[in-house]
């Protein structure tokens, strides 16, 4: 399972936010397939926690029916054990490539709680898993000690680190040297690559699939290049809660029909769309000028 870039795909809705826009979803999948990027369905960028079980099932079945020639990872609901195990049972016989398993939110489990939680999920999983450290959303970091406890599990393949620094990445490498660590913050990819990251799980690649893949490849090859625009893009995508900014950009570019997000998110919380459009002018064909 060798892939340097996975796109945390948005879930496009209709203008009311009530139904999945499958036509737009197919366009997004095909764009990632064309760029040879892997796809993560129903992570935080895909508003996975705002979807009901039926919607999650229909999304996975729809994408798999497209038979995209790329790797597909599927997010696992992260706050209720029974729900998570039932979801893993549903996915058991599907031709997916793996799971994205997030640190449980709200409850803030300690080392032993995290270790037991992920062991339960990994034991029940039929595919390999990428664990996900995102303390800004889960309320607590994925403890390096938990990773050390789990490092010999045959289903544990990788870890996505969205901590906002490379410190956690280094801790995880020390805890489990064979674990594949993926950067989860677009703007940190060059620094993460310098400290051993194997690739990127990206929000920006929703809008710039080809350019973002080139950006990751250059970082992994330790080739020096100007990173300012990517840093600016990472900050711009943080001007409102993810995926509000990237959905606004995708709508303005005509890639999806609506920028609607589901409550408690609101597109009205985005302070400006012009910053993202200006960055698009700089980054859309960035890979042709490096």
pLDDT of residue 287: 63
Q: What is the set of domains in the chain, with CATH numbers? A: 5-227 (3.20.20.70)
35 sits in the region (left: phi over 0; alpha: psi -120 to 50; else beta) called alpha
Between CA 223 and CA 200 the distance in angstroms is: 16
pLDDT of residue 191: 95
Residues, the chain, total? 290
pLDDT of residue 14: 95
Tokens of 127: 């595919």
pLDDT of residue 227: 87
Tens digit of each residue's pLDDT, the chain (290 residues): 589 999 999 999 999 989 999 999 999 999 999 999 999 999 999 999 999 999 999 999 999 999 999 999 999 987 899 999 999 999 999 999 999 999 998 899 999 999 999 999 999 999 999 999 999 889 999 999 999 999 999 999 999 999 999 999 999 999 999 999 999 999 999 999 999 999 999 999 999 999 999 999 999 998 888 888 899 998 899 999 999 999 999 999 999 999 999 999 999 999 989 999 999 988 877 766 56
pLDDT of residue 173: 95
Q: Are 237 and 10 in contact (CB under 8 A)?
A: no
pLDDT of residue 288: 61
pLDDT of residue 1: 58
Q: Are 130 and 183 in contact (CB under 8 A)?
A: no
Spacing of C-alpha 287 from chain mean position: 22
Q: Are 186 and 259 in contact (CB under 8 A)?
A: no
pLDDT of residue 77: 85
Between CA 80 and CA 42 the distance in angstroms is: 16
Burial grade of 125 (CB within 10 A; 0-12, 13-18, 19 or more): buried
Between CA 106 and CA 109 the distance in angstroms is: 9
Please list the active-site residues.
Answer: 132, 160
């Amino acid at each position: 399972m060798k892939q340097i870039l996975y796109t945390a795909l948005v879930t496009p809705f209709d203008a009311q936010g009530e139904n999945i826009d499958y036509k737009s979803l197919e366009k997004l999948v095909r764009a990632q397939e064309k760029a040879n990027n892997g796809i993560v369905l129903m992570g935080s960028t895909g508003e996975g926690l705002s979807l009901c079980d039926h919607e999650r099932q229909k999304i996975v079945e729809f994408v798999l029916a497209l038979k995209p020639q790329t790797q597909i990872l599927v997010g696992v609901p992260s706050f209720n054990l029974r729900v998570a195990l039932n979801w893993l049972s549903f996915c058991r016989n599907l031709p997916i490539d793996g799971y994205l398993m997030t640190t449980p939110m709200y409850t803030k489990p300690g080392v032993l709680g995290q270790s037991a939680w992920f062991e339960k999920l990994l034991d029940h999983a039929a595919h390999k898993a990428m664990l996900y450290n995102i303390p800004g959303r889960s309320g607590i970091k994925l403890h390096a000690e938990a990773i050390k406890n789990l490092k010999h599990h045959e289903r544990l393949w990788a870890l996505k680190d969205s901590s906002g620094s490379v410190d956690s990445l280094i801790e995880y490498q020390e805890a489990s040297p064979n674990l594949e660590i993926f950067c989860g913050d677009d703007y940190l990819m060059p620094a993460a690559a310098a400290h051993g990251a194997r690739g990127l799980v990206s929000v920006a690649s929703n809008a710039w699939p080809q350019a973002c893949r080139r950006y990751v490849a250059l970082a992994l090859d330790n080739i020096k290049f100007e990173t300012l625009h990517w840093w600016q893009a990472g900050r711009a995508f943080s001007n409102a809660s993810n995926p509000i900014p990237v959905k606004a950009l995708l709508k303005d570019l005509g890639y999806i029909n609506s920028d609607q997000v589901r409550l408690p998110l609101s597109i009205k919380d985005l302070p400006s769309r012009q910053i993202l459009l200006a960055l698009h002018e700089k980054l859309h064909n960035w890979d042709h000028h490096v």
